[in-house]
Structure 1
Amino acid sequence: MTSELEKRLKGQVRAAKRSVLTADVYESVKSLIMDGELAPGTRVNIYAVARLLDVSQTPVREVLSALESEGLVTKEPLRGYSVAAVLTSGQVADLYQLRLLLEPWAAARAAERVDAEVAERVRAELTSVPNAPQGTRYHDYHGIQAHDARFHDLIAELSGSPAVRESLARTHSHLHLFRLDYKGRRHGDPTLAEHARVVDAVLAGSPDEAEAAMRAHLAAARDRYLETL
């Protein structure tokens, strides 16, 4: 029996490539969630998704398990998987409160530990996304979302604190914030500009300036997201 999802999207969603099956299914299902094709609270029909992507149910089940660990889907006994709710304004504020406690400190420590190798890695990440995307679909913005996650993870790593890095990684904050709202012209340009200011301070070996730049970036990003709510 053909589901409503299949009727609506058949022909618009590319079939998963067999050569990289699980990774391709992962990106396809994530796209459905990030773009809102699978709305918050919607039950995920494994059979329908498998037919839509022209794959067996096995990789779909594996992908849903991975997405559960990232908080994009939830699993309930006897009901299976459903798409998780987006963050509320209170959850956004709480998430940024945690980040404001950890990441400015991490940026300051990174500035204290800067050397030629660190400088090369930070510059390479900054230049990995030279321009902000203008589209609003996951296909358009997933590159900057991945950069945002890598950038903040790199600063946490360079702080020398595995505990801070692990704490930030557990939140999957970049994924959930970009899912909440992304408009390329609104978020992308200021995000890249703020990252550049953090990098300048870190590479200058100035802990105070690096801490201030990261704090300013997080506060501005928080306000941009809260405005959408």
Structure 2
Amino acid sequence: MTSPRRRSERQPLADKMYEVLLGQFTDGRWTAGEPVNIGALSRELDVSQTPLREALARLEHTGLVRREALKGYRVAPLLTEFELTKLMDARAVLEPAMAYEAARRTTPEFLDAVLDAVDTLATLDSAVFSDYWKADERFHLLIAKQADNPFLETAYKSLGGQVQRFRFFATLGSARGAPGLAAEEHRAVHAALVAGDPDEASAKMRLHIENAKARVLSDRAAVASSLSR
């Protein structure tokens, strides 16, 4: 049995490996469906396989990798068009409700943080795709937390891994200019939050999710085409 001390010493390394692997997904190193060679990773990163396995187990919970019996880990396949449609439909149910609740309990600090997230997104170059997704996610997480409903927030975060699963395998494709489009839609949500208008905040969030759905479905077609070449 592993001693508590040894576990506590190993955990920070497992945490670090989780961040390293997550960074590799963000940087586009991995492709959908690619097998994960733990031995090669161990040699490349100069760490034992144990913290890598722990990091991969955490990534499995996000939906980014899958563990196959007797085969090890493999990067999750690209979401199907049906899965992506249903994922965005789920967000269209959940996120307007969170925006409604957030608009009922705004604070100056919250509004400033949301505005900063909007402004950050507006200044990004779409060529830096990972920065785009990170800024977008920050905006949505701020609203999820401000809704002050742990069940809604947990439900949103449970979708987060699947959203990342698509995001990390996306290419620019049809998404050129997406940061600017998303920033405009985010700014409309922010304006409704500033006005303290729950119905308007909900409506603007729903419109944003519907527009985002159209964009990601178009981009999925571009990703699928690139993977089939």
Please tell me whether residue 152 in structure 1 is matched to residue 140 in structure 2: yes
Counterpart-to-counterpart distance in 2, 1:22 and 1:144: 27
Cα pair 1:132 1:192 within 8 Å, conserved: no
Q: Could you tell me how far apart the structure 1 residues matched to 2:21 and 2:109 are? A: 37
- After TM superposition, the runs of 4+ consecutive aligned structure 1 residues lying more than 6 A away are none
**What is the DSSP-based 3-state SS (H/G/I as helix, E as strand, rest coil) of the residue aligned with 2:73?**
strand
Contact 1:68/1:74 (8 A) holds in 2: yes
TM-score by length of 2: 0.79
Query: Any gaps of 5 or more consecutive residues in structure 2?
Result: 1-11, 222-229
Cα 1:24–1:129 change in 2 (3 A) is farther
CA deviation after TM superposition for structure 1 residue 128, in Å: 4.2
- Work out the CA distance in 2 between the residues paired with 1:66 and 1:110: 30
Q: Does 1:168 align with 2:160?
A: no
Tell me, what secondary structure is at the counterpart of 2:177?
A: helix
Secondary structure of residue in 2 paired with 1:81 = strand
1:206 matches 2:194: no
Q: CA deviation at 1:123?
A: 2.5
The question of 1:68 aligning with 2:60 is answered yes
3-state SS in 2 of match to 1:214: helix
C-alpha contact (below 8 Å) 1:133/1:185 kept by paired residues: no
Decide whether aligned partners of structure 1 residues 186 and 178 sit closer, same or farther in structure 2, where only a CA change above 3 A counts.
farther
Distance 1:55 1:129, change over 3 A: farther
Partner of 2:97: 105
The code of the aligned residue for 2:143 comes to I
Identify the range of structure 1 (216-225 vs 199-208) with the bigger mean alpha-carbon deviation. Answer: 199-208
For residues 96 and 176 of structure 1, do their structure 2 counterparts lie closer, same or farther at Cα, with a shift above 3 Å needed? same
Q: More deviation in 68-77 or 141-150?
A: 141-150
Aligned counterpart, 2:182:
191
The alignment partner of 1:43 has SS state of: coil
Distance 1:111 1:166 in 2: 19
Conserved 8 A contact 1:191-1:217: yes
> 1:178 maps to which residue?
167
Structure 2 CA distance for partners of 1:125 and 1:73, relative to 1, 3 Å: same
d(CA) in 2 for partners of 1:34 and 1:87? Answer: 17
How large is the Cα RMSD of the aligned pairs?
Answer: 2.3
Partner of 1:122: 114
CA deviation profile, 1:179-207 (whole Å, cap 9, x unmatched): 24242633222122211111111111112
Q: Classify 1:36/1:122 alpha carbon distance in 2 versus 1 (closer, same or farther; 3 Å).
A: closer
CA separation of 1:144 and 1:51: change in aligned 2, threshold 3 A: same
Would the aligned equivalents of 1:149 and 1:174 in 2 still touch at CA under 8 Å?
no
Letter in 2 for 1:145: W
Q: CA deviation at 1:118?
A: 2.7
Equivalent pairs, count: 206
SS state at 1:68 partner:
helix
C-alpha spacing 1:115/1:38, structure 2 compared with 1 (3 Å): closer
Question: Identity of counterpart residues, as a percentage?
Answer: 34
Does the residue aligned with 1:134 lie in a helix, a strand or coil? coil
- Matches of 1:162 and 1:212 in 2, distance apart? 22
Q: Secondary structure at the match of 2:103?
A: helix
**TM-score for the superposition, normalised by structure 1:** 0.79
Asked if 2 retains the 8 angstrom alpha-carbon contact of 1:107 and 1:156, the reply is yes
